[in-house]
Amino acid sequence: MEGHRMKSAAAALLLGIGLAGGLALPAAAQSSVRIGGPAAEQPVDRDGPMVPTQIPGQSRGDSWHAIRLGEQGTVSIPNKQAGVLIQSEGEAWRAVRNGPLSQYGSWVLGGILALLALFFLVRGRIRIDGEKTGRTIQRFNAFERGVHWMTAGSFVVLAISGLNVLYGRHTLLPLIGPEPFAALTHYGKLAHNFLGFAFILGVALIFVMWVHHNIPSRHDLTWFLKAGGLFAKGVHPPAHKFNGGQKVIFWSTVVGGAALGFTGVQLIFPFSFATLEEMQLYQLAHAAIAVIMIAIILAHIYIGSVGMEGAFDAMGDGQVELQWAREHHSLWVEEVTGEKVRHGNHHGTPAE
């Protein structure tokens, strides 16, 4: 009886786990193997549906033990990985993704939004302190602005569609219902897959265009010591084309963008470059880096739009008010216009 059951299990069941000896099912038996078929198609015997527990020559306990440890069995379908019935790393991955990753992620994103709102309430919009000149100077050319907006546009769609994958089920789904949510998630995923490449290209071009303006210098130290003048009206530490804070944005974009691109490519071409375990780690890294980068970029978007008078023009038509440039980038103004600016004075006015 027991021998009969063992034989029919091996012949009809989903897989045979090849333990140390590497036992495989006979070819005839393998041809009838089905993975994940409907219950009605599962082989049955007098005692009910058969379960894939046993390996010829192994006790039932040993067989289960091997399956629980994630040992790879043999299957006749092309996807050999289906021979692993229980992949324990997958359980750990799921626990981290749905637990600490999602939780800390929501704290980081909620935290930065609260900080920005608080900063706006306390400091208000950072105004141009001195008198406007009515004259402008060019800050970024059309190509630079085009690259910036390609990177920014793709990032925003990637961020929204990515956050939907992480949080949508618990936030959007109850709000908009299953059908709109399914459609949104479907198109969001398509957009995410394609725009990833535009973002990677944008980050590479940003690196090439601006790296020479972003080498750390002693002025950055002064800039950070004075907190960039962000908290005190009329304080303007000297800066070249990019100040210390902008260098942080630049390097976050380049390093974070490269890490997102690398891990993203691993996930978009499953199993081409990485094993399942590696992909699980890449997915966690991808999501964690994305959350941090979204938080940093939210601060960047705030200061580049509502947070500071005159800043948006740099990426709008590329022309900035000369007085804005004197206050925020005094050393750069000296370089490009030849005029002398009194650094560190409270209005960035030109020297006599």
Q: Does 14 bind ligand HEM (CB under 6 A)?
A: no
Dist. CA 342–CA 352, nearest whole Å = 9
Tokens of 151: 């990177």
Q: Which of 63, 151, 266, 323 binds ligand HEM (CB under 6 A)?
A: 151
Q: Does 298 bind ligand HEM (CB under 6 A)?
A: no
28: left (phi over 0), alpha (psi -120 to 50) or beta: alpha
Q: How big is the CA angle at 347 (ends 342 and 352), to the nearest 5 degrees?
A: 40
The backbone torsions φ and ψ at residue 126, rounded to the nearest 5 degrees and listed phi first, read -75, 115
Q: Which of 75, 126, 297, 333 binds ligand HEM (CB under 6 A)?
A: 297
Dist. CA 239–CA 246, nearest whole Å = 10
Handedness of CA 206, 209, 211, 214 (dihedral sign): negative
Tokens of 220: 């950055």
Q: Which of 29, 115, 152, 298 binds ligand HEM (CB under 6 A)?
A: 152
Residue type, 189: K
User: Collapsing DSSP states into helix, strand and coil, what is residue 289?
Assistant: helix
Q: Which of 314, 322, 333, 341 binds ligand HEM (CB under 6 A)?
A: 314
Tokens of 113: 């939004």
Q: Does 181 bind ligand HEM (CB under 6 A)?
A: no
Comparing CB distances to ligand HEM, the nearer of 65 and 226 is: 226
Q: Does 128 bind ligand HEM (CB under 6 A)?
A: no
By CB under 6 A, which span of 35-43, 101-109, 129-137, 300-308 interacts with ligand HEM? 300-308
Which 8-state DSSP code applies to residue 211? G
By CB under 6 A, which span of 62-70, 216-224, 246-254, 278-286 interacts with ligand HEM? 246-254
Minimum CB separation of residue 295 from ligand HEM in Å reads 12
- Please give the residues from 204 up to 243 whose contact with ligand HEM meets the rule CB under 6 A: 206, 242
By CB under 6 A, which span of 28-36, 59-67, 148-156, 269-277 interacts with ligand HEM? 148-156
Comparing CB distances to ligand HEM, the nearer of 29 and 160 is: 160
- Please give the residues from 69 up to 108 whose contact with ligand HEM meets the rule CB under 6 A: none
Minimum CB separation of residue 99 from ligand HEM in Å reads 28
Q: Does 315 bind ligand HEM (CB under 6 A)?
A: yes
Minimum CB separation of residue 115 from ligand HEM in Å reads 18
Share of the chain residues as helix, strand and coil, in percent rounded to the nearest 5: 65, 5, 30
Q: Kindly give the interhelix angle for 276-304 and 244-251, rounded to the nearest 10 degrees.
A: 150
The backbone torsions φ and ψ at residue 48, rounded to the nearest 5 degrees and listed phi first, read 110, -170
Handedness of CA 173, 175, 181, 184 (dihedral sign): negative
Q: How many residues form the binding site for ligand HEM (CB under 6 A)? A: 21
By CB under 6 A, name the binding residues for ligand HEM. Answer: 139, 148, 151-152, 155-156, 206, 242, 246, 249-250, 253, 297, 300-301, 304-305, 311-312, 314-315
